[in-house]
Amino acid sequence: MRFAIPTPTTSAVEIGPFTIHFYALCIIAGVAAAICLGTKRFCAHTENGKGVVADVAIYAVPAGVIGGRLYHVVTTPEDYFGRAGNLFDIVKIWNGGLGIWGAIAVGVIAAFFSYRHIAKKKELPSFLIFADAVAPGLLIAQGIGRWGNWFNAELFGRPLNAPWALEIPEYARPSGFESFGTFHPTFLYESIWCFLIAAILIALGNRRQPGTIFSQYVLLYALGRFIIESIRIDRAHEWAGLRLNQYVAILAVAGAIAALLKISRTSR
């Protein structure tokens, strides 16, 4: 392929005794962007919003990382348990392996309780308004974080012969695909989709019932993730031709639609 996206030749840089992984840097950059955007949007709802998003992030971000890792470990136990697994690899999050579904679920729970604690000291609006304010920022964080998969040469799709195809080194190609050199850059597809949804939600404005923006975030992201999952070829549990993450995406879509219908009925 004459034109293709190259995979970086290194995924980390060593500075003295420290090793800095680009995967981790992408996550950190995404978190910073989410806090900045979320703070700006939340402060538009309340005069007491300064610093609240950052304070909640202190608890929600680590919880999200733990939740994402637990989801990955539970859904791919063969990599960590049994004869073929390595239990100590569970802590090596810099090698990738953060399930977004687990990160969102556990992160939102931690955010809810930390926000409720902060709200007792300040006059703050409901948690749903807070969730709506930070939703576009979460999408930006996810979009930036996906570039960490590029550095790790992981989570790509089926073979592709196109100018936007992703070059994958031979060592990272799955079994049965060793003869192919370029693949669908699914990390890029998901990143673009996240940025696009964020732009749409921001453009639609904030004059909607509390919880609407966050529900739309879950709905639109899950729809895109369902399609992107159908392209990926990394090892995953499958039933009836669908990958596990596609089933989770279906549940997320159903939950988001139910939430939007409830919000609509409440507003009427």
pLDDT tens string 158-194: 999 999 999 999 999 998 999 999 999 999 999 999 9
What is d(CA 11, CA 208) in angstroms, rounded to the nearest whole number?
42
**Rg of the chain over all Cα atoms, to the nearest angstrom:** 20
pLDDT the model gives residue 88: 75
Two tokens at 11? 């995924």
Q: Distance of alpha carbon 265 from its chain centroid, rounded?
A: 30
Q: Is the pLDDT of residue 59 over 90?
A: yes
pLDDT the model gives residue 2: 62
- For the residues 247-267, what does the mean pLDDT come to? 92
Write the CB contacts of 91 (distance below 8 Å, at least 6 apart in sequence). Answer: none
CB 189: neighbour CB atoms within 10 A? 19
Write the CB contacts of 196 (distance below 8 Å, at least 6 apart in sequence). Answer: none
What is d(CA 147, CA 243) in angstroms, rounded to the nearest whole number?
22
What is d(CA 39, CA 79) in angstroms, rounded to the nearest whole number?
38
**Low-confidence winner among 20-24, 76-80, 146-150, 155-159 (lowest mean pLDDT):** 76-80
Task: Identify whether the C-beta of residue 22 lies closer than 8 Å to the C-beta of residue 8.
Answer: yes
More confident residue, 169 or 95: 169
What is d(CA 163, CA 66) in angstroms, rounded to the nearest whole number?
37
pLDDT the model gives residue 267: 67
Q: Where are the domains of the chain?
A: 12-267
Q: Is the pLDDT of residue 95 over 80?
A: no
Give tens-digit pLDDT for 224-246: 999 999 999 988 889 999 999 99
Whole-prediction pTM = 0.91
Mean pLDDT of the chain: 91
